Chain A
Amino acid sequence: NAGVTQTPKFQVLKTGQSMTLQCAQDMNHNSMYWYRQDPGMGLRLIYYSASEGTTDKGEVPNGYNVSRLNKREFSLRLESAAPSQTSVYFCASSEVSGSNQPQHFGDGTRLSIL
């Protein structure tokens, strides 16, 4: 029972490089999310997809793009990585968004930008 799977688990990039973080869920959830977690800042929403075919900006979308490839997969792309994007990135899913449904998280991608 995989739940939410994120790849890769770790990545080191140089400033200016591009990178796509992958996320897939096997729970048939409609909504998916990307967060970043930094010390002292907590989880901050980057982008979310309420349903297949839709995406919306969260609190900190600058420097990122997303693609909801299908119901299962939601990817996050850094077009030109910056040191300020060094963080732990979490993908999550829920049955629907904006409701009392719990979110199910992956175990994160630890990204360092040099």
Chain B
Amino acid sequence: SQKIEQNSEALNIQEGKTATLTCNYTNYSPAYLQWYRQDPGRGPVFLLLIRENEKEKRKERLKVTFDTTLKQSLFHITASQPADSATYLCALASKLVFGTGTRLLVSP
């Protein structure tokens, strides 16, 4: 079955630094991979989608890369802010499979 792995340990960084979150997948070669943000007590909110033929996708301070050889996607937040603190989930949308998410904590 398809599986997505995200680092379960929280990532702590200082404000202004770049946060990098990792998503690894197995047993499948997805055409698309999505990233969501989830705040405590709320449902996930869609952020970005990247296609397999796109090496990189950007939206404001967010950047996603997709390496089909490594079966990995990296999610970057540049110039991070305390308001970026949340859990970030990656998903194989076509298979309706989500990772467990990585919690990001940005300290002032």
- B-binding residues in A (CB < 8 A): 4, 33, 35, 40-45, 48, 58, 90, 92, 97-108
* A43-B32 contact, Cβ under 8 Å, with A100-B93, A103-B93: no
Bound complex: CA of A100 vs CA of B98, how far in Å? Answer: 14
A100 touching B49 by the CB < 8 A rule?
Answer: yes
B10 to chain A, nearest CB (A): 13
The residue in A43, A58, A105, A106 that gathers the most chain B C-beta atoms within 10 A of its C-beta is: A43
Which residues from B are CB-within-8-Å of A99?
Answer: 32, 93-94
Tell me, rounded to whole Å, the shortest Cβ–Cβ distance linking B92 to chain A.
Answer: 11
* Chain B residues with CB below 8 A from A104, complex form: 46
The count of chain B contact residues (Cβ–Cβ below 8 Å) is 22
From 63 to 100 in chain B, residues with beta carbon under 8 angstroms from any chain A beta carbon are 89, 91, 93-94, 96-100
> Nearest chain A CB to B73's CB is how many angstroms away?
14
Alpha-carbon gap, A107 to B97, bound state (A): 19
Q: Are A48 and B96 in contact (CB under 8 A)?
A: yes
Enumerate chain A residues within 8 angstroms of B94, measured Cβ to Cβ.
98-100
Given known contacts A33-B96, A58-B96, is B41 in contact with A103 (CB within 8 Å)? Answer: no
Q: Which of B41, B43, B96 contacts A4 (CB 8 A)?
A: B43
A residues near B45, Cβ cutoff 8 Å: 105
Instruction: Give Cα distance in the complex from A81 to B34, angstroms.
Output: 33
Chain B residues, Cβ within 8 Å of A102: 34, 46, 49, 93
What are 25 of the A-B contact pairs (CB < 8 Å)?
Answer: A4-B43, A33-B96, A42-B89, A42-B100, A42-B101, A43-B44, A43-B89, A43-B98, A44-B98, A45-B97, A48-B96, A90-B43, A90-B44, A98-B94, A99-B32, A100-B51, A100-B94, A101-B93, A102-B93, A103-B44, A104-B46, A105-B43, A105-B44, A105-B45, A108-B41
